[in-house]
Amino acid sequence: MRRRALVLVALGVCLSAGAGAQVVNWPTENPPRPLPSRPVSFPPYELRTLPNGMQVIVVMHHEQPEVTMRILVRGGAAYDPPGKAGTAALVGSLLHQGTTTRTAQAIADAIDSIGGALDSGAGGDHSSATVLVMKDSFDVGMDMLADVVRRPAFAPEEIERQRRQTAQSLDVSLEDPGFIAGAVMNRLIYGFHPYGFPDSGMPETIARITREDLREFHRRYFAPNNSILAIVGDVTADEAMAAAARVFGDWPRQAVQPPTLPDPPKPTRRIVVIDKPESVQTAVRIGQLAIPRKTPEYMNFDQAIRILGGEGSNRLFRVLRSERGLTYSASADMNTMLLAGDVVAETDTRTEATGEAVRVIVDEFTRLQRERVGDAELAGAQAYMTGSFPLTIETPGAIARQVVNAVFYDLSLDELRTYRQRANAVTPDDVLRVARAYVQPDRLSIVMVGNAAAFKDQLAKAGFGSYELIPLSNLDLSAANLKKR
């Protein structure tokens, strides 16, 4: 007993000295030097175009006996017809729910029985279908991919099934604070631009979509000259190209006319509190309109936002989690799309800390725009970006994703090769310039989803006393004021 107490005292002394080492003779030393490094460059890939205009990317990788094929069609939720948000998503989910030659059940049975996987869907800018098969089923997989992309049946009973599931899933999502906060933030940033609505649509817009709308969307945008096909894995380039020509070669080219869309509104400060009284935490999202993917300033702005809240740096994480213990995670992300983009900082914090967290995040946006980033901090962010480059080319899927991305957003393929040089070329002045050009701290929109009564007093103290309060049951994502009538 006595001995134990003594040990504790000794340990206490040790702790106050700042170390709790249990091993007595452990050396004090500096980190070891690295071994010689191996040169690394972007791996080889093939990019060819079929006579009908389909772009085909092949990445060969022979270690594991599998092949993944993914087709990306230019046209997603942003091209939904007005008032019919959810059209692209419904088309996407229906691609593998029956074709003119196979039922939904036959497709499921065929892919599952060969130990494959098949999925399809839509994002804001694109629709897609992906098939994964073992090497010996490559041809079968290519046939299925072409079938679901070219010949979806849009059978009425499948439409109703997907429509019901989408609407019901959306109802569940509308109880999830993270989903609600993200959806409201998108509306504040993009207004009535299609990027402002959930890709899935909303209950009333999903209800309006007809079979003809789905067929029309498919007819308009699903064309070889509007598509990118990536074939990745245990095949040769010749095998892949031959298979692509076999299943897509007779798909006729057609003129594709994207719709004309309104510009998103200019940033304005709007603070919205969605009241969900049983919440034990507040979901906080703070953001504004920023830049689309294809912009000369992309790399500069990317680094600014990484310093604010990205991997390898992240001021928000440091202050909110490491220093104050207010959250499990805090980050800021650029979301850059074809037509526009945004930057959103997010965290989830206990109700009592809501005002403090919001203040910290807004202040960090401000600091980014007022203070020149230190050389060491910027060098750290760049070291992460350049150092992690070999991690981004580990799997054939990851390689293909980068090539597809470059082709999709019409970037120079050279950018894949020059990534590290471009990252290292950014200076503190560049970061300050883009932060001043694109960040407007007094126009940041703020969304909080939580127990409003418990944190409203904190908001006034933190300088955010003026806000719109909307009970969750009264939220309407379609309305300008976000409220049900």
Closer to another protein by Cβ: residue 226 or 281: 281
Q: Which of 1, 3, 13, 113 is in the footprint of another protein by CB under 8 A?
A: 113
**What is the residue whose two structure tokens read 């091209």?**
79
Part of the chain binding another protein (CB under 8 A), chosen from 64-72, 181-189, 250-258, 427-435 = 64-72
Q: Is 38 in the site for another protein (CB under 8 A)?
A: yes
For another protein (CB under 8 A), the number of binding residues is 96
The residues in 459-478 that bind another protein, with binding defined as CB under 8 A, are: 472-473
In this structure, which amino acid lies at residue 179? Answer: F
**What is the residue whose two structure tokens read 């499990």?**
328
User: Tokens at residue 408, please?
Assistant: 């999709």
Nearest distance in Å: CB 322, another protein: 6
Q: Is 1 in the site for another protein (CB under 8 A)?
A: no
User: What is d(CA 148, CA 140) in angstroms, rounded to the nearest whole number?
Assistant: 12
Q: Is 177 in the site for another protein (CB under 8 A)?
A: yes
Nearest distance in Å: CB 159, another protein: 14
The residues in 285-344 that bind another protein, with binding defined as CB under 8 A, are: 311-313, 321-329
In this structure, which amino acid lies at residue 405? Answer: N
Q: Which of 6, 15, 453, 460 is in the footprint of another protein by CB under 8 A?
A: 15
The residues in 179-238 that bind another protein, with binding defined as CB under 8 A, are: none
Q: For residue 94, report the phi and psi dihedrals to the nearest 5 degrees.
A: -85, -10
Closer to another protein by Cβ: residue 269 or 321: 321
Instruction: Residue count of the chain, please give it.
Output: 485
The residues in 250-279 that bind another protein, with binding defined as CB under 8 A, are: 278-279
Part of the chain binding another protein (CB under 8 A), chosen from 33-41, 267-275, 285-293, 358-366 = 33-41
Q: Is 176 in the site for another protein (CB under 8 A)?
A: yes
The residues in 403-462 that bind another protein, with binding defined as CB under 8 A, are: none
User: Tokens at residue 62, please?
Assistant: 């022979």
Nearest distance in Å: CB 245, another protein: 24
Q: Which of 10, 83, 112, 259 is in the footprint of another protein by CB under 8 A?
A: 112
Q: For residue 247, report the phi and psi dihedrals to the nearest 5 degrees.
A: -95, -20
